[in-house]
Amino acid sequence: MTIQKRPSLLGGAMIIAGTAIGAGMLANPTSTAGVWFFGSIAILIYTWFCMTTSGLMILEANLHYPTGASFDTIVTDLLGKGWNVINGLSVAFVLYILTYAYITSGGSITENFLNQLGENVEVGRTAGSLIFCFVLAAFVWFSTKAVDRFSTVLIAGMIISFFLSTSGLLSSVKADVLLNTVAQGEQQYLPYILTALPVCLVSFGFHGNVPSLVKYYDRDGKRVMKSIFLGTGLALIIYILWQLAVQGNLPRAEFAPVIAKGGDVAALLEALNKYIQTDYIGIILNFFAYMAIASSFLGVTLGLFDYIADLCKFDDSRLGRTKTTLVTFLPPLLLSLQFPFGFVVAIGYAGLAATIWAAIVPALLAKASRKKFPNATYRVHGGNFMVYFVILFGLLNIFAQVALQFGWIADFKG
C-alpha cells in the first residue's frame, strides 16, 4: 500500500507569494510617494488584510463545490449569469492591462540594457518593447512546460538579486530621507491616501490560485488558509523592505521625473542610482526589476493565453497556438508602442478591474454561500461585518481610481 505524501505548507505559500510578488511591487514606491514611508506601510497592511480576507472568502465558497470548480461555476451558481459576465470581463481586462504594463517597462529596461552594451548600439523604445515581447511570447507559444522552466530560473534569480540589492540599499538608508525632513516644498501626506490604494491592491493579487490550492490540498480548508496567510505575509514583508530600501534612499521630491514618466521602472532605477554609492547595487537592481517583470509577464500572459484559447475555441495545434498568441499579445503590444510611459497608470487600471473579482465578488460569494449552505464547515472570521468591510475596501478602490481620472482628489507630482 502506497502512502501519499501530503503537500507541504511551504509549497502552497510559495504559489501564493510567487503570484503576488512581481512587477506590481516596483510601482509601489512611486504610487505611495505622496503618503511617504509610514503612510505607505499603513496602506500596505490595510490592503494585505482585506485582500487576504477576500481570498479566504473565495475559499469558503469554493469548498461547497466539486474539486476543480472555479470562478465560472461558483459565480454563476451563487450570483447568477449577470455577475459572471461582469466577473469574466474584469478578469480579461486585468490580464490584458497587466500585459501592456509589463511590455512598457520590460521594453524600457531592454532598451537601456542594449544601449549600454556598446557605443555603436542604438536601440529605441519601440525596438526594446518588440524584443522583450517577442522573446517571451515565444516561450508561451511553445508550451506551458517551457514557461514553467523559464519562470523557475527567473524567480530564483529574482529572489537572489532582491536580497543582494536590498541588503546594500537597507544599509545605506538615511533617516532624514525616510522621515522626509530634508524635503522642500509641500509637506502634506493625507490628501494622497486614496491614490495609492489601486496599485497596492494589484500587489496582493493571488485569488485565481485559490481553486488550484483547494485541489492541491485535497479540499483541506485549514491547510489552504494557512498557505494563504504564509504566502501573503511573506509578500507583505518583502514589500515593506522594498519601500524602506527605495524611500530611505531616494528623497520624496526626487520622484517627480519618475512620476512624469508614468512610474517607468527604468526612470525609477535611474533616479535611485544618483543616491547609491556602490555601482553594483544599481546593476543588481536592474537585473531584479527585469526578472520581476519577465516572470510576472510570463505568469499573466500564460493565464491570458489559456483564457483566449478557451474563449475562442482555438485548438492546441501550431496554427491554433499561433492564432491564440496573436490575440493574446498583439493588442497590448500595439498599445505599448502607442503609449510607452503608462506603467503606474496601467497598474492602477488593473487595480480598478481587479477590485471586482478580488474584493467585491469574493465578499458577495461569501454572503450568498452562507445563505445557501448554512451548515458550512469553514467560515471566514468576522461574520457579515467582514463581508461589508471588504466590500467597502473594494468601493474605496473604485472611487479612488475614478476620482483620480476626473481630478476630484489630489495627485502627487513630486
pLDDT at residue 54, as a whole number: 96
CATH number of residue 272's parent domain: 1.20.1740.10
Domain span holding position 52: 16-406
Extract the C-alpha cell encoding 259: 512620476
pLDDT at residue 102, as a whole number: 83
Select from 16, 17, 22 the least CA-distant residue to 347: 22
pLDDT at residue 1, as a whole number: 42
Mean pLDDT of 128-143: 86
9 falls within a domain: no
Placement of cell 500500500 in the chain: 1
Q: Predicted confidence band at 278 (pLDDT cuts at 50, 70, 90)?
A: low
Rounded Cα–Cα distance for residues 119 and 135 (Å) = 24
Q: Predicted confidence band at 52 (pLDDT cuts at 50, 70, 90)?
A: very high
More reliable by pLDDT, 40 or 341: 40
In angstroms, what CA-CA distances link 187 with 179, 184, 259?
11, 8, 17
**What helix, strand, coil percent values describe the chain, rounded to 5?**
75, 0, 25
SS3 2: coil
In one-letter notation, the amino acid at residue 17 is A
Residue 411 has φ and ψ, to the nearest 5°, of: -125, 115
In angstroms, what CA-CA distances link 47 with 155, 188, 218, 235, 385?
24, 22, 29, 12, 17
Residue 409 has φ and ψ, to the nearest 5°, of: -125, 160
411 falls within a domain: no
7 falls within a domain: no
8 falls within a domain: no
Q: Which residues contact 101 (CB under 8 A, 6 or more apart)?
A: 23, 342, 343, 346, 347, 350
Q: pLDDT tens digits, residue range 362-403?
A: 999 999 999 999 888 889 999 999 999 999 999 999 998 888
Q: pLDDT tens digits, residue range 112-128?
A: 777 777 666 677 878 88
Structure letter (DSSP) for residue 252: G
Crossing angle of helices 318-338 and 81-115, rounded to 10°: 70
Placement of cell 523592505 in the chain: 241
The radius of gyration of the chain from alpha carbons, rounded to an integer in Å, stands at 21
Mean pLDDT of 341-360: 79
Rounded Cα–Cα distance for residues 338 and 126 (Å) = 9
301 falls within a domain: yes
In angstroms, what CA-CA distances link 359 with 91, 117, 203, 366, 408?
12, 45, 13, 11, 23
Q: Predicted confidence band at 225 (pLDDT cuts at 50, 70, 90)?
A: very high
Structure letter (DSSP) for residue 241: H
Instruction: Work out the percent of the chain whose per-residue pLDDT is above 70.
Output: 92
* Cα atoms in the Cβ-side hemisphere of radius 13 Å centred on 24: 36
Give pTM, 2 decimals. 0.81
Placement of cell 530564483 in the chain: 156
More reliable by pLDDT, 362 or 22: 362
Q: pLDDT tens digits, residue range 53-103?
A: 999 999 999 999 887 777 778 888 999 999 989 988 888 888 888 888 888
Residue 251 has φ and ψ, to the nearest 5°, of: -60, 150
- Compute how many other C-beta atoms are within 10 angstroms of the C-beta atom of residue 371: 9
Rounded Cα–Cα distance for residues 237 and 243 (Å) = 10
Q: pLDDT tens digits, residue range 231-254?
A: 899 889 989 998 998 898 888 888
Select from 374, 372, 354 the least CA-distant residue to 362: 354
SS3 292: helix
Select from 267, 339, 278, 271 the least CA-distant residue to 101: 339
How many domains is the chain built from? 1
Q: Which residues contact 301 (CB under 8 A, 6 or more apart)?
A: 95, 99, 136, 137, 140, 328, 329
259 falls within a domain: yes
1 falls within a domain: no
Structure letter (DSSP) for residue 324: H
Give Cα 310 distance to the centre of its chain: 24
DSSP 170-239: HHT--HHHHTT-S--S----GGGHHHHHHHHHHTT--GGGHHHHHHHTTT-HHHHHHHHHHHHHHHHHHH
Q: What is the overall mean pLDDT for the chain?
A: 83
Q: Predicted confidence band at 2 (pLDDT cuts at 50, 70, 90)?
A: very low
Cβ–Cβ under 8 Å, residues 263 and 253: no
Placement of cell 512587477 in the chain: 23
120 falls within a domain: yes
Q: pLDDT tens digits, residue range 145-171?
A: 677 677 778 877 888 888 887 887 888
